[in-house]
Amino acid sequence: MASDSSEKVSVPAATRYFAPSGTFLITCGTGEAANVMTASAVSIACIDPPMLGVAIGHSRHSHGLLVQCGEFVVNVPDVALLEAVRICGSRSGRDTDKFALSGLHAEPSLQVAVPSIRECPLNIECVVEDSLDLGSHQWFAGRIVAVRADRELLDENGTVAAERLDPILTVFQEYWTAGRFLEAH
């Protein structure tokens, strides 16, 4: 916890020093070419229409698959999938079947040809609406066309109950859990 007497110092402008973010498993490609990658560069891009954005490095195998098919799924893993997240973030899909290696299972999505991950409690299907070349990465803005959640995650109103999801965060290139409830906004 910071105090008023904390001294701030300048650090290099590298992503490993940026703020904590969610950790996701992105699926792209179809059929035998389907791939899964770990990503933390995912964000809400628009509320109306509902859109998510994901930044993927040009050199990544998933980048080419996403450009080719124009669809992706943001799969939200929980802490029980930490080992799969680690595996999918440390191998290239060019020469590895990351589904097989991680023990994850691809299943058909509702609205896109790209598979979802069965083990992830939340799957968000997206169709690329636009993209922006940012340098080392390309930002893909995806319109959300379908969302599926494990029934156990839902409250009596049918919305995701945050306390039932135990997401993984990336903090300074380390995996952490979300912590505790503070307040609603």
- Averaged pLDDT of the chain: 90
Where residue 184 falls among pLDDT bands split at 50, 70, 90?
confident
For residue 176, what pLDDT is reported? 83
**β-strand partners of 74:** 26, 124
User: E-assigned strands of 86-121?
Assistant: 106-107, 116-117
Least confident of 83-87, 114-118, 140-144, 175-179: 175-179
The whole-angstrom separation of Cα 24 and Cα 138 is 17
Look at residue 2 in the predicted model and tell me its pLDDT: 55
The percentage of the chain sitting over the pLDDT mark of 90, rounded to a whole number, equals 69
Cα angle for residues 18, 2, 185 (degrees, 5° grid)? 70
The pLDDT of residue 170 is: 87
The answer to whether residue 146 scores a pLDDT higher than 60 is yes
Separation between Cα atoms, residue 13 and residue 18, nearest integer Å: 8
What is the structure's pLDDT at 88?
95
Q: Model confidence over 111-131: pLDDT tens digits?
A: 999 999 999 999 999 999 999
Burial code (b: 16+ CB inside 10 Å, e: under 16) for 49-79 equals eebbbbbbbeebbbbbbbeebbbbbbbbbbe
5-40 pLDDT tens trace = 789 877 676 655 567 888 999 999 999 899 999 999
* 72 SS3 class: strand
Q: What φ, ψ does residue 32 adopt, rounded to 5°?
A: -65, -20
Q: Is 37 exposed, middle or buried (0-12, 13-18, 19+ CB in 10 A)?
A: buried
- Asked whether residue 44 carries a pLDDT value surpassing 60, the answer given is yes
**pLDDT tier at 3 (50, 70, 90 boundaries)?**
low
- Asked whether 42 and 54 are in contact (CB, 8 A), the reply is yes
